[in-house]
Amino acid sequence: MSTFRLIFATLTFSLIFLSCASNESANENVLQEQQESSPMKEKMQMQEDDRISLGLNDMQKQHQLKNMRSHLVAVQTIVELLSKENYDLASKVAYTELGSTTEMKLMCASFGNEQFENMGLAFHASADKMSEIIKTKDKKASLEALSVTMNYCVQCHANFRQ
């Protein structure tokens, strides 16, 4: 073997070795990325709904969701009326749609969960208070009262599901 051939062979061998080595480390990176991202993906997919279930039957479910959608309409209506400074109507909507009417109290009691009932009753009582505050025609105080009531929406949704 000539010296030239020996050098050529050594160089080729080194090049092949180097390219394999660098491929290997590239693969390692990909593997590492996969290992890092997959548990996170699993976590996102497997996040459980650990809220308390009320165990409602189909009819109760429909009825409750309808009631809830009307709560949302009521909140939107109150915000709009306050922006137009129509305090009388806003106060009326706050009581009739969200306040402690007999219908609302019966509805809260009908699901057979005391904690849920108490939260519902406290929510309706806060709407009674909001209705009174709106009558004073103080926009800032009215918005604060609406925020207090809406906090019950948030709290109950965080704790209960159908």
65: contact with ligand HEC by CB under 6 A = yes
Q: How many CB atoms lie within 10 A of CB 84?
A: 10
**Crossing angle of helices 139-159 and 114-135, rounded to 10°:** 170
The dihedrals phi and psi of 49, each to the nearest 5 degrees, come to -90, 100
For 67, other C-beta atoms within 10 Å of its C-beta total: 12
Site for ligand HEC in 73-132 (CB under 6 A): 75, 98, 116, 119-120, 123
**Smallest distance, ligand HEC to C-beta of residue 107, A:** 10
Size of the site for ligand HEC (CB under 6 A): 19
Closest CA to 86 of 149, 150, 139: 139
| Interface segment toward ligand HEC; rule CB under 6 A; list 1-9, 10-18, 30-38, 145-153 | 145-153
160: enclosing H helix or E strand: strand 160-161
**Considering the complex, what minimum distance in angstroms separates the CB of residue 95 from ligand HEC?**
13
User: Residue 100: which of 122, 82, 81, 79 has the closest Cα?
Assistant: 122
For residue 97, the one-letter residue type is E
Binding-site member from 63, 109, 135, 160 for ligand HEC (CB under 6 A):
160
Any contact of residue 152 with ligand HEC (CB under 6 A)?
A: yes
Site for ligand HEC contains 68 (CB under 6 A):
yes
Q: Which residues bind ligand HEC (CB under 6 A)?
A: 65, 68-69, 71-72, 75, 98, 116, 119-120, 123, 150, 152-153, 156-157, 160-162
